[in-house]
């Protein structure tokens, strides 16, 4: 009986071992190269930004820009390589020259006189009518 169990377990092990697919070995690129970029210009929300990056082997260069809430564009140029590490240069540029708005006094609001409001006159108090003694 023990032999049958051992043979059964061995057969199940052989069957399940042949079903599992071999794990593919990841191939690494010895000299990776890529280039990408994007640009967002949404006037409705005021979202303006962009990014571009290039890689050639172990050297990566790129830049990105974003519009800050104070009305300037922040541009970051960066480079990374095994010898110098990561280096970034940040600069700011105004989007437009700020021109102060002219100070304009608000137009006077015309005052429209309102009609006086009167309470309605009280209803007269009448005595009840009594039957006339002269009427039959």
Extents of the domains making up the chain: 29-97
- pLDDT for the residue numbered 65: 94
Q: Which two tokens stand for residue 122?
A: 């009280």
Tokens 């390589």 map to which residue?
A: 81
Q: What is the Cα gyration radius of the chain?
A: 45
- pLDDT for the residue numbered 6: 74
Which residues in 8-41 are b (16+ Cβ under 10 Å) and which e? eeeeeeeeeeeeeeeeeeeeeeeeeeeeeeeeee
pLDDT tens, position by position, 113-123: 777 777 777 77
Low-confidence spans in the chain with pLDDT less than 70:
1, 14-23, 97-101, 127-128, 130-136
- pLDDT for the residue numbered 134: 63
Q: How far apart are CA 105 and CA 121, in angstroms?
A: 47
How would you classify residue 71: left for phi > 0, otherwise alpha for psi between -120 and 50, otherwise beta?
Answer: left
């Amino acid at each position: 009986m023990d032999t049958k169990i051992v043979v059964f377990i061995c057969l199940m092990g052989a069957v399940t071992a042949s079903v599992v697919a071999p794990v593919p070995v990841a191939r690494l690129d010895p000299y990776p190269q890529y280039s990408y970029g994007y640009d967002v210009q949404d006037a409705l929300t005021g979202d303006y930004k962009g990014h571009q990056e290039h890689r050639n082997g172990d050297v990566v260069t790129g830049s990105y820009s974003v519009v800050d809430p104070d009305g300037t564009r922040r541009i970051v140029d960066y480079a990374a390589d095994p010898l110098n590490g990561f280096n970034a240069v940040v600069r700011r540029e105004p989007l437009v020259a700020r021109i102060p708005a002219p100070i304009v006094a608000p137009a006077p609001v015309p005052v429209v006189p309102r009609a006086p409001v009167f309470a309605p006159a009280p209803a007269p108090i009448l005595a009840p009518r009594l039957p006339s003694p002269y009427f039959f």
